[in-house]
Amino acid sequence: MENIYWTIYRDYADQIEQGRLSPDSKLPSENQLAKRYGTSRETVRKALHLLSQNGYIHKIKGKGSFVLHVNKFDFPVSGLVSFKEVATKSGKEWNTDVVSLETGKPDPYVASQLNIQGSEAIWKVVRVREVGGEKIILDKDHFHKGLIPPLTKDICRESIYEYLERSSEVKISFAKKVITIEGATEEDERLLDLDRYAMMAVVRNYVYLDDSTLFQYTESRHRPDKFRFVDFARRY
């Protein structure tokens, strides 16, 4: 909250997400906002640019900034946010079951994904995500052990992201997601309520720290009928 442009961004992002600003309504002009927040126009523009990039508003030259039609449950659109945040916003009942939490040596595949030597220790967390009473998502997290504070089952049941953000030793900077569709494994069938589904939506998530070192590799396996991914992109 220290940065001016960030508080302006959060102000309007929150208002739009909560529906307190209706779609198509017009935001105050940049000059008006600058006066209202007691800052300069350039700072306001920084905040509006962020809102625009993230699909909250649309700016039209000569006219102003307008709230986009936003499906609340689509948020975050292609973001970095955790399962807990998304599940909480959706309003459905959800639950996380920590299947296993251990440290050890990575198998060769994970070691290659994490760009590390096979001798370095990692945290390995397996979690089952339950939504509406059905076990739908299987998350397999792998963390560089040396880079993060120690994990417990309780933390994994809540949100590892929140924990890491709070224990400000690590700063998450960016992430790359690769979505593919693959056959269900024996593990998927054992741990999830798969019904008759034979394929899974697989999201491989590569998370990087502020110094651009890869510190987390996650495989998130979703039952296909419950999978939905939203992406917002802008042409400059």
Partner DNA sequence: AACGCAATCCTGTATATACAGGTTTACGGA
Partner DNA sequence: TCCGTAAACCTGTATATACAGGATTGCGTT
Q: Which residues are at the interface with a copy of itself (CB under 8 A)? A: 6, 50, 53, 55, 58, 60, 66, 68, 74, 77-80, 172-181, 198-199, 201, 208, 210-212, 224-225, 227-236
Report how far residue 30's alpha carbon sits from residue 8's, in angstroms, rounded to the nearest whole number: 12
Shortest spacing between CB 6 and a copy of itself, in angstroms: 7
Q: What is the DSSP secondary-structure string of 38-64?
A: TS-HHHHHHHHHHHHHTTSEEEETTTE
Q: Which does 1 bind (CB under 5 to 8 A by kind): DNA, a copy of itself, none?
A: none
Backbone phi, then psi, for 145, in 5-degree steps?
-70, -40
Nearest-approach distance from CB 66 to DNA, in angstroms: 9
CB of 69 to a copy of itself, least distance (A): 9
Which region holds residue 125: left if phi is over 0, alpha if psi is between -120 and 50, else beta?
beta
Length of the chain: 236
Q: Which is nearer to DNA, 15 or 29 (CB)?
A: 29
Shortest Å distance, C-beta 194 to a copy of itself? 13
Considering the rule CB under 7 A, would residue 39 count as an interface residue with DNA?
yes
Contact region for DNA (CB under 7 A) — 29-37, 76-84, 148-156, 194-202? 29-37
Spell out, one character per residue from 51 to 80, where the chain touches DNA: x when CB under 7 A holds, - when not: --------xxxxxxx---------------
Q: Is 234 in the site for DNA (CB under 7 A)?
A: no
Q: What is the 3-state secondary structure (H, E, C) of 78-143?
A: CCCCCHHHHHHHHCCCEEEEEEEEEEECCCHHHHHHHCCCCCCCEEEEEEEEEECCEEEEEEEEEE
Binding site for DNA (CB under 7 A): 2-6, 27, 29-32, 38-43, 45-46, 48, 59-65
